[in-house]
Amino acid sequence: MPEPSPSESKSEPASELKSELPPEENLPVRRRGQGLAFIAALLCVIIGLFRISEGVLTFVGSEETLATHVIDVDKAKTVAVLTGIIGIFQVLCSIGLMRLNAAARQFTFIVTAIFIGNGIVGSYALYGLISTGAIVNLVLGLLVIFLIRKAEPAFIDAAK
């Protein structure tokens, strides 16, 4: 039996791959829910990285600098640690959102709610008022929750 030439053997897997591809209307990138989940994941990455950097910079900041800007330095250090941990969870949640994991969607909802609360309570505890950053955190957190809620059909489809 003659062996197939290298050009013939390369064409066979390519034809098999073409037959396995789904129709164009079923491509994941074209679906609205998956697009919203991807945008929510990107927002989670951005929020998480900013929260991690904020937590690290506040934690390693000098006590003299913190004392001039905040009410209580010990509370600032505690809030910095919590902020960094929430940022890490936010980044990890974004990975699950990009993979359309339903458990990650629920966990992201919980972490984002904690993120909103941490921003408002931390701002009030540290500065004695609700800062502009806390309001931005509130708006971004609500946007992530809204996007996750609107992307729910994509998570249901991915589970099937």
What's the rounded Cα separation, in Å, for the pair 132 and 148? Answer: 24
5: in domain: no
Q: Could you give the number of structural domains in the chain?
A: 1
pLDDT in tens, 135-144: 888 899 999 9
Could you please report the per-residue DSSP string of 8-48? HHHHHHHHHHHHHSPPGGG-GGG-HHHHHHHHHHHHHHHHH
Domain extent at residue 46: 31-159
20: in domain: no
**pLDDT of amino acid 146:** 94
pLDDT in tens, 65-83: 777 777 777 878 888 888 8
pLDDT in tens, 5-58: 555 544 444 444 444 445 455 455 446 788 888 999 999 999 999 889 888 888
Closest to 83 (Cα-Cα) out of 128, 67, 139, 91: 91
